[in-house]
Amino acid sequence: MIYRFSHISLFRLAGLFIWLSLTIPIVAKIYLDDNWLNSYSILWFLSHVSFGIGFLILTRNLGQSKLTIDEWILLLAMIAVIYIINWSTFSITGLFYSLIITILLPWLMSVYQGLIILVLQNILIAWQMFSGHDELVKYDSYQFDNLFFIFFWLGISAFSYVLSYVGFKQQNAKEELRKLNSELRATQVLLTESSRINERLRISRELHDLIGHHLTALSLNLEVATHITDGKAKRQVKKAQSIARLLLSDVRDVVSSFRGKGNLNFAQALRELTDGIPRLKLHLDIDKDYTIEDPKLAQTMLRCTQELITNCIKHAKADNLWLKFDQIDELILIEIKDDGVGHRMSIEEGNGLTGIRERVKQFNGSIEILSNKKGFGIKIIFNVS
């Protein structure tokens, strides 16, 4: 069943499992030690609980955006908790909490920042282990064991960081692959629909240009024949002329029908595009038979939608995303909103939003950005007149 979880879910579960495992010594001390209620034990317990709460907060939107100032402060506080636990337990129990931080770093910041934090964290651990020793040149047995352990722990930390970084890159590659696959399937739907429409148009033109012209010529020749025949033959010619006109009318109806069903099934393409979006509950409001006549417009609408979904995943820290598509006369309306950070983040238009503006401008459209306490939203209007 483990394959049903994403990299991020497995990561959070692993971190929580380590944290819960570290709860066992605290519970054992409370149960077995009658004198557990002292300042050191209480500080240990509070530090442990604080670390767990901090871990849940930091990993709530893991990998979606850069750390805010509040999250940086929380991370540094969690690192400080490591040394408080070591001090309050007179042990190196904090190293296991340090391992959780190490695994967390690639998902929270760049490699450069993560390595700096990792090195500083281990330097402080080494300083804490060697504090109280005045002479480091003359190693006694205790100091040598500590030095050996520090280098051993550095290897474990580096190995853990690399493994976590590989998982982070795999998660990004997986998401990029999902995105490309969704775009490919959506484009395939539009191409299939476009091919179907082109084939119908080709058949309608063939019917009109070949059969239609021949039937028209036949009808004219039969009209001439009615003037040069008499009696029973004339009645048969008129009957044939009536059938020819009826057949010509049927051909015109078929041609009109073929030309009238030339819209792309945009709703189906959109469902393919939004299938399997991670970490978001999608609310799609679109008519199942929603169609677009212009293939270029349909492709532009898909690209804009994909870009906005990607921005929501990366920056909004949202749980829900609402997509609404509507058409009023010659205006096509797209409304996208989420329940993320909204106005709490400064809106800086990068290449994504700039590209959307450029695409919308090609159809004489407009963009309206809506940001409030409940999240971020955007309204796009395409003019198809």
Q: pLDDT tens digit string along 121-136?
A: 888 888 877 774 444 3
Report the C-alpha gap between 235 and 233 in whole angstroms. Answer: 5
Torsion sign across C-alpha atoms 352, 285, 327, 266: positive
Higher pLDDT, 73 or 317: 73
68-124, pLDDT tens digit by residue? 788 889 999 998 888 888 888 877 788 888 888 998 888 888 888 889 988 888 888
Give this prediction's pTM: 0.62
Angle 162-156-96 (CA atoms, 0-180°, nearest 5)?
110
Average pLDDT, the chain: 78
173-213, pLDDT tens digit by residue? 887 787 777 777 777 776 776 777 677 667 777 776 777 77
Q: Where are the alpha helices (DSSP H) in the chain?
A: 7-32, 39-58, 69-89, 94-108, 111-130, 141-206, 213-227, 231-260, 266-273, 295-311, 351-361
Q: What is the DSSP code (8-state) at residue 362? A: T
**pLDDT at residue number 138:** 43
Lowest pLDDT segment from 3-12, 132-141, 167-176: 132-141
Mean pLDDT: which of 53-67, 231-245, 246-260, 324-338 is highest? 324-338
Q: 264-383 maps to which CATH number?
A: 3.30.565.10
**pLDDT at residue number 210:** 72
Q: Supply 248's token pair.
A: 């010509």
Using the predicted structure, report yes or no on whether residue 65 has a pLDDT greater than 80. no
